[in-house]
Amino acid sequence: MSGTAADTLRLTNFYAALSPSLDSILTTLRGAGLDTDRVTAKDLYQRDLDCHNLGMHAMLGVVADWAAQHSAPTPNDTVLDIGCGLGGPGRFLVDRFGCAVVGIDLLPLRTERAQALSDLTGMADRTSYRVADATHMEFDDGVFTQAWMLDVSIHIRAKQALFAEIARVLRPGGLLVMHDQTGPLPRAMQPLKRQAPYVAPSLPQLVRHVEGAGLRMLTWHDTTPRVLEYFVGIQAMLTQASREVSTALGPSGHDRSAALLAAYIETLGNPGGRTGILIASRPGDGTFAPG
């Protein structure tokens, strides 16, 4: 099996366990007293039911604020959500900016659920999804105003191909808005690395990848304390609640969720494995020079 095929298989198994079914999401919403015939996107993402970024829904507002300092998408713009997962961050962007969102994910299970949740919340006219590998996207050049990529690049070995593709599909002046964890990852991340590919360059290496693709660095903002605070809060909830509780790390498997949480908490409390927001722009056509 090729390295890429092995990575895809591991990601499929890893995220299958982290992707709640539509039924279990509806059960959670009913439990919260909601009428499931009138579910809004907010009902989902504010409960972290369809977000898998580090820091969850609370972090989305932080990332959006940083991005908007450079440029905010308008209702005429289309944002590419790379590694869209269940689509929560994309639907948040539609609510916040009124833009359209195209989500891609490597795993059909994730794009199918993302579509089902957009149908459920009446967002199908502003969102669309397709299965695609971010290192090889079948979009024309320069079609997206922004490309968001929340906690995805860490799973992708071919960083050069990834950032070259992002630079290619962004329009001149367009923004890459990403969140991720930098390396070197400490030993505490081993429980996660055993389950899925986690390939984290140091911040200077990451910046070299971004700039090597011809993008111009605008911002790096460290979010580690926020992400750590979020995980500590979830850990406290998990400790108090029943073993059946559904957490952001998974609809089932209390022990597994607890182990992953503990790995993150130990990692983020150490100097390695920081998290942050990175924003870069594709220069105007005259100065864009892909590496």
Ligand X SMILES: C[S@@+](CC[C@H](N)C(=O)[O-])C[C@H]1O[C@@H](n2cnc3c(N)ncnc32)[C@H](O)[C@@H]1O
C-alpha atoms less than 13 angstroms from C-alpha of 289 in its C-beta half-sphere: 1
Give the shortest CB-256-to-ligand X separation in angstroms. Answer: 16
Which residue, 43 or 151, is less far from ligand X as judged by CB?
Answer: 151
Question: What does the alpha-carbon distance between residue 35 and residue 290 come to, in Å, rounded to a whole number?
Answer: 50
Task: Report yes or no: 128 and 61 within 8 Å, Cβ to Cβ.
Answer: no
CA-to-CA distance for 21 and 184, rounded, in angstroms? 34
Residue with tokens 């969140």: 179
Per CB under 6 A, the segment of 145-153, 204-212, 244-252, 272-280 that binds ligand X is: 145-153
Residue 14: CB minimum distance to ligand X, A: 8
Stretch of 82-90, 120-128, 218-226, 251-259 contacting ligand X, by CB under 6 A: 82-90
Looking only at the bridges linking them, the beta strands covering 275-281 and 170-181 are antiparallel
DSSP state letter for 185: P
- Give the span between the Cα atoms of 198 and 192, in whole angstroms: 8
Question: Considering all CA atoms of the chain, what is the largest pairwise distance in Å, rounded to the nearest integer?
Answer: 59
First to last CA, the chain: 30
Q: How far is the CB of 240 from ligand X (least distance, A)?
A: 25
Of 128, 147, 121, which Cα lies nearest the Cα of 42? 121
Q: Is 219 exposed, middle or buried (0-12, 13-18, 19+ CB in 10 A)?
A: middle
70, two tokens? 């450079």
Scan residues 152-181 and list those touching ligand X (CB under 6 A): 152, 155-156
Q: Select the span of 118-126, 129-137, 231-239, 248-256 touching ligand X (CB under 6 A).
A: 129-137
Q: Which part of the chain contacts ligand X (CB under 6 A), choosing from 84-92, 113-121, 203-211, 281-289? A: 84-92
d(CA 291, CA 288): 10
Nearer to ligand X, 89 or 174 (CB): 89
Among 105, 230, 251, 274, binds ligand X (CB under 6 A): 105
Please state, in angstroms and rounded to a whole number, the distance separating the CA atoms of residues 241 and 109. Answer: 29
Nearer to ligand X, 67 or 288 (CB): 67
Stretch that binds ligand X, among 47-55, 119-127, 235-243, 254-262 (CB under 6 A): 47-55
Tell me how many residues contact ligand X (CB under 6 A): 23
Under the binding rule (CB under 6 A), the answer on residue 273 touching ligand X is no
Instruction: Build a one-symbol-per-residue string for 48-77: x at contacts with ligand X by CB under 6 A, - elsewhere.
Output: ---xxx------------------------
CB of 238 to ligand X, least distance (A): 19
Residue 251 binds to ligand X (criterion: CB under 6 A):
no
Question: In whole angstroms, how close is the CB of 69 to ligand X at the nearest point?
Answer: 21
> Which residues here bind ligand X, judged by CB under 6 A?
11, 15, 51-53, 83-85, 88-89, 104-107, 110, 133-135, 150-152, 155-156
